[in-house]
Structure 1
């Protein structure tokens, strides 16, 4: 895999950070993105400042960020094999309290970020006649929870699920695979940002009676990145969250 190149957005913390480390360990060339430049530099240093990784801080909701990520990948490594659209925001808020600015925030970062970065990268994959785009959604698109009101972020994530299927249809002829990973509750800084002090207390939402680890999402991403006959799919990494619950 030493000649394969991956771009990961939102790579400075949580699932993105763990996934970046996982692919580095597999020998991939890596282009890391985050909107937080300080966190991104800290993560790069924590990885040992590898020569086969480069960083670019930027807001993925702006089309120029995706273009710069693609340009950097080609300048440094000569190709783009995998894109993981991981950058995103998520927080609950009752439907009747959601404002226009709330919706715009989630749609800009989650949907527009995924849309524009894919738009910047796919032309090179078409040229190469192959590639893999992996989007990050959520199991809550298919399994809503009444006690966890999240219509604002879920509308943006649901749009990502739909975008995945359409892109898979449009670019299948070019041997470009497009899939979604829908995580359940994964141990990451996100829970703390949402005010969840004991994330393990939510284990019962999963049939396996535990929450997921970021590496398990990274493993699923690696499977999709290397699979030649899976496209247009949503892979739930959720311990049975969408299937049922233990009582």
Structure 2
């Protein structure tokens, strides 16, 4: 991945931040995106303002943001080799309490953000007859939990899983690989945002009896970015979450 160009959305914190850090260390050219410029700039500075990285703040649910990311990547690094659609929001809410604005939030950021950004990078990948698109889903799409009602965000994530397979079919002839990473419980700021004070208390949801770390998602993303014969797949990085539980 040295000198390959990677666009990463939601790169200022949590999983996206770790993925950006990982690819920068591997000497990839990284274009970082997040909705809040202050947080994005802070992360960039924390990384040491690396020469092989640039950043652009913007609402990923807006097509104009995706176009700006593509323009920036091509201007600075000439190619777009990998897109990692990490930006997203997620929070539990009982089905009967979900309002229209809830659905609009998740579909706008999670699905439309992934859709529009992918739509923006595909032409460049077709031109070079090579590319890798990595979407971030969740194991909860295939493994629902009664005590964690999240129908609103899960409908958007489920759509991303379906989009992955369809795009893999449409663009396989162009040597564009499209895959999804479905994380289990990962130690990140998201846990506290959704009211989980002790993420380790959820270790029993995984057969390995521990929660995951952000670097483990970054490692999976790097693998998929370099894998030339994997497409249309959903890779669970979840310690056995979908197989069974350690109680």
TM over 0.5: yes
Residue in structure 1 matched with residue 114 of structure 2 by the alignment = 114
TM-score (norm 1): 0.99
Deviation sequence 1:7-31 (CA, Å, 0-9, x none)? 0000000000000000001110000
For residue 52 of structure 1, report the CA deviation from its aligned partner. 1.1
Residue in structure 2 matched with residue 45 of structure 1 by the alignment = 45
- For structure 2, the 5+ residue unaligned runs are none
Tell me the secondary structure at the aligned position of residue 145 of structure 2: coil
| Whole-angstrom CA distance in 2 between matches of 1:20 and 1:49 | 12
| Whole-angstrom CA distance in 1 between matches of 2:228 and 2:82 | 12
Residue in structure 1 matched with residue 132 of structure 2 by the alignment = 132
Q: CA RMSD in A?
A: 0.5
For residue 51 of structure 1, report the CA deviation from its aligned partner. 1.0
Tell me the secondary structure at the aligned position of residue 16 of structure 2: helix
Residue in structure 1 matched with residue 183 of structure 2 by the alignment = 183
For residue 117 of structure 1, report the CA deviation from its aligned partner. 0.2
Moved over 2 A (4+): none
| Whole-angstrom CA distance in 1 between matches of 2:183 and 2:12 | 18
| Whole-angstrom CA distance in 2 between matches of 1:141 and 1:221 | 19
Residue in structure 2 matched with residue 192 of structure 1 by the alignment = 192
For residue 96 of structure 1, report the CA deviation from its aligned partner. 0.1
For residue 3 of structure 1, report the CA deviation from its aligned partner. 2.2
Tell me the secondary structure at the aligned position of residue 235 of structure 1: strand
Confirm or deny that 1:94 pairs with 2:99: no
Residue in structure 2 matched with residue 65 of structure 1 by the alignment = 65
Tell me the secondary structure at the aligned position of residue 181 of structure 2: strand
Residue in structure 2 matched with residue 229 of structure 1 by the alignment = 229
Tell me the secondary structure at the aligned position of residue 181 of structure 1: strand
| Whole-angstrom CA distance in 2 between matches of 1:100 and 1:209 | 37
Deviation sequence 1:135-191 (CA, Å, 0-9, x none)? 000000000000000000000000000000000000000000000000000000000
How many matched pairs?
A: 247
TM-score (norm 2): 0.99
For residue 246 of structure 1, report the CA deviation from its aligned partner. 2.0
| Whole-angstrom CA distance in 2 between matches of 1:81 and 1:55 | 17
Residue in structure 2 matched with residue 35 of structure 1 by the alignment = 35
| Whole-angstrom CA distance in 1 between matches of 2:195 and 2:151 | 18
For residue 2 of structure 1, report the CA deviation from its aligned partner. 2.8
- For structure 1, the 5+ residue unaligned runs are none
